[in-house]
């Protein structure tokens, strides 16, 4: 029997244009669904790393306290003052230099002490070669991975020596050398009674000063109810309030200024209407400096609230902040670490503080109470 043969070639069936477009659309939808999940997973990992770093830093604080029976001074350190050839130049060394041996940075600490002992001009902002080898050393232990400015190369004119982690000075703004004992980050000296504040740069005679420190017994609000350390965004040196910058306004100076003065400087685009971009004095760019914008924060405004002052190194409103969505990570004195939401009760932001706020209960709500060491408040954070 004969089989009929045809001259038609075999044709393999491919995708039509419509089918191809449908497949591409499905892939696009899947990518759109998966990408946020991937980003959330990455941020969760970064936040976990940040939490662990803050915990390790607070453990270093506790180890320091165990060795010295006090917490490190945030400025005017008696230990540094006694070895510095020029006591006047010793005032601005902050708490992080004292923590270096407890952060597995003993060689750097040794180099810093040698620098201070042998150089009468040893100050945290000095940019000569000897200082750069110490104070501009980048320490990953004090950098939050969620902050894009923790890279050596990110942002305009960035230099090493930055820190994401600051010490809590309480619920009311203080100058770097102001010796009020309201938060864990107290300055190490105060003038004797009747001699005024410690800010007078002419005071070099140690007999006119009395050492002070925060000890464990001073934290009468409870170590689990008192914030010790927290994070704050490193400035990107621009006027963007969301990028760690700070605004300047005539009414924003002083410890009694209302936080809302800062918020009023932020426009609808998220940028300050008036701001400073001075790179060397931007918040967070000097880990060795006790000046409040570099290594301090205060709990008189909620996390990620706008920050401002009246000019370079004249900060007023300095709340904690972060690039974690919705809040910031903070460590308590007992070593516990918590994430505090942006909407935590921080009192009335339009209310000015009063001089009476230096003692007793905080004027800045629950968050303010968490920053004070001896306000006597009932903690409502949990």
Q: Please compute the mean of the pLDDT values over residues 231-238 and round it to a whole number.
A: 86
Percentage of the chain beyond pLDDT 70 is 85
Q: Which residue in 328, 344, 310 sits closest to 168, CA to CA?
A: 328
Q: Which two tokens stand for residue 208?
A: 């006119």
pLDDT tens, residue by residue, 136-151: 888 999 999 998 876 6
Percentage of the chain beyond pLDDT 90 is 44
- Residues with Cβ within 8 Å of 276's Cβ and at least 6 positions away in sequence, in order, are 246, 248, 311, 312
Quick one: pLDDT band at residue 322, thresholds 50, 70, 90? very high
DSSP letters, 47-88, are HHHHHHHHHHHHHHHHHHHHHHSSPPPSSS-HHHHHH-SSGG
Which residue reads 């001699």 in tokens?
195
Distance CA 210, CA 76 (A): 11
Distance CA 171, CA 297 (A): 9
pLDDT at 39 over 80: no
Distance CA 130, CA 143 (A): 23
Could you give the 3-state DSSP secondary structure of residue 184? coil
pLDDT at 188 over 70: yes
Phi/psi of residue 213, each to 5°?
A: -160, 165
- Position with higher pLDDT, 114 vs 175: 114
pLDDT at 8 over 70: no
Distance CA 69, CA 56 (A): 19
Chain mean pLDDT for the chain: 84
């Amino acid at each position: 029997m004969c089989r009929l043969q045809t001259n038609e070639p075999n044709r393999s069936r491919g995708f039509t244009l419509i089918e191809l477009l449908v497949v591409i659309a499905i892939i696009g939808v899947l990518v759109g669904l998966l990408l946020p999940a991937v980003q959330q997973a990455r941020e969760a990992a970064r936040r976990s790393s940040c939490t662990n770093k803050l915990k390790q830093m607070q453990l270093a604080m506790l180890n320091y306290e165990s060795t010295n029976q006090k917490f490190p001074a945030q400025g005017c350190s008696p230990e540094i003052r006694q070895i510095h050839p020029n006591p006047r130049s010793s005032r601005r060394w902050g708490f992080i230099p004292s923590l270096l041996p407890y952060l597995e940075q003993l060689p750097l600490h040794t180099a810093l002490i040698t620098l201070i002992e042998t150089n009468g001009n040893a100050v945290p902002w000095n940019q000569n070669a000897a200082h750069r080898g110490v104070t501009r050393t980048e320490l990953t232990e004090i950098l939050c991975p969620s902050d894009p400015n923790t890279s050596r190369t990110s942002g305009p004119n960035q230099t090493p020596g930055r820190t994401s982690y600051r010490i809590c000075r309480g619920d009311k703004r203080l100058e770097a050398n102001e010796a009020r004992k309201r938060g864990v980050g107290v300055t190490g000296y105060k003038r004797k009674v009747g001699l005024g504040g410690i800010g007078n740069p002419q005071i070099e005679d140690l007999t006119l000063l009395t050492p002070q420190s925060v000890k464990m017994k001073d934290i009468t609000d409870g170590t689990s109810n008192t914030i010790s350390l927290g994070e704050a965004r490193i400035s990107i040196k621009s006027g963007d309030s969301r990028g760690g910058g700070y605004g300047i306004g005539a009414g924003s100076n002083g410890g009694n200024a209302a936080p809302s003065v800062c918020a009023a400087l932020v426009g609808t685009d998220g940028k300050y209407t008036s701001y400073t971009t001075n790179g060397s004095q931007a918040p967070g760019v000097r880990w060795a400096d006790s000046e409040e914008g570099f290594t301090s924060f205060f709990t008189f405004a909620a996390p990620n609230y706008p920050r401002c002052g009246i000019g370079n190194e004249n900060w007023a409103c300095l709340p904690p902040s972060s690039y974690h969505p919705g809040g910031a990570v903070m460590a308590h004195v007992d070593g516990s670490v918590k994430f505090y939401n942006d909407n935590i009760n921080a009192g009335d932001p339009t209310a000015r503080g009063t001089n009476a706020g230096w003692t007793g209960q905080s004027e800045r709500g629950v968050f303010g109470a968490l920053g004070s060491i001896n306000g006597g408040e009932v903690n409502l954070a949990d």
